[in-house]
A and B are shown apart, each in its own frame.
Chain A
Amino acid sequence: DAKTTQPPSMDCAEGRAANLPCNHSTISGNEYVYWYRQIHSQGPQYIIHGLKNNETNEMASLIITEDRKSSTLILPHATLRDTAVYYCIVRVVGGNKLVFGAGTILRVKS
């Protein structure tokens, strides 16, 4: 699975959009981008995934660049409860495991 690079931490004001970047420059054609988050002392929570088209669900939007070498997770109106570690993970279709990195600590501040 391709390696991902994320900033170690970010701050966001409550009510504003949080834009979390991820680089995955070695991604291959059969690898999807997944985003999870982990709120303190809870299990990882699935947010969204995509291959090459932008995706949106009730939690977030995922923007993947045309060359697929990077992506951005967007939380449109961040709340204090969105404070968590956010993980960008690349996984091959049919792959068993998720490989977690250190992620980005997002702090939403009032």
Chain B
Amino acid sequence: EPEVTQTPSHQVTQMGQEVILRCVPISNHLYFYWYRQILGQKVEFLVSFYNNEISEKSEIFDDQFSVERPDGSNFTLKIRSTKLEDSAMYFCASSEGLGVQPQHFGDGTRLSIL
């Protein structure tokens, strides 16, 4: 069964450094998402992306964050200048469409900011 893959599984970064989290969505999917989950808390929506544009973003997704689909297969989340509070699991998801099709998630990248 096709799946969403994320790399790396664990990223350790110094505060203030830039980090790029990578995702390969399911190949025929057109909509892409990032969510995060701080340890012990709920899964939170960050951003959705379609047709090379952000279609919706949350208040968490401030100017420090950006997303990109640099080629036909990858979808990336960049955090420009990391803060301690960015430490979390980051999940990528994709869906075929915006109708009723479900979103399918990867197993996440654990980001640890030191």
Contacts and interface: CB of A to CB of B under 8 A. Distances in A.
Interface of A: 32, 34, 38, 41-46, 49, 51, 87, 93-102
A35 to B, nearest CB: 10
Given A46-B105, A102-B42, 14 more contacts: A42-B107, A42-B108, A43-B91, A43-B107, A44-B93, A46-B103, A49-B100, A87-B43, A94-B98, A96-B45, A96-B56, A97-B58, A98-B45, A99-B45
A98 B103 CA distance: 9
Nearest to B104: A46
B100 A100 contact: no
Interface residues of B, number: 25
Interface of B: 4, 31, 33, 35, 42-45, 48, 55-56, 58, 89, 91, 93, 98-100, 102-108
25 contacts: A32-B100, A34-B102, A38-B43, A42-B108, A43-B4, A43-B93, A43-B105, A43-B108, A44-B105, A45-B105, A46-B102, A46-B105, A49-B100, A49-B102, A93-B99, A94-B99, A96-B45, A96-B55, A96-B98, A97-B58, A98-B35, A98-B103, A99-B45, A100-B35, A101-B42
B2 to A, nearest CB: 13
A68 to B, nearest CB: 15
Main secondary structure of the interface of B (DSSP, over half): strand
A38 B42 CA distance: 11
A44 B45 contact: no
Q: Which of B44, B48, B102 has the most CB of A within 10 A?
A: B102
A67 B34 CA distance: 33
A43 B103 contact: no
Nearest to B41: A102
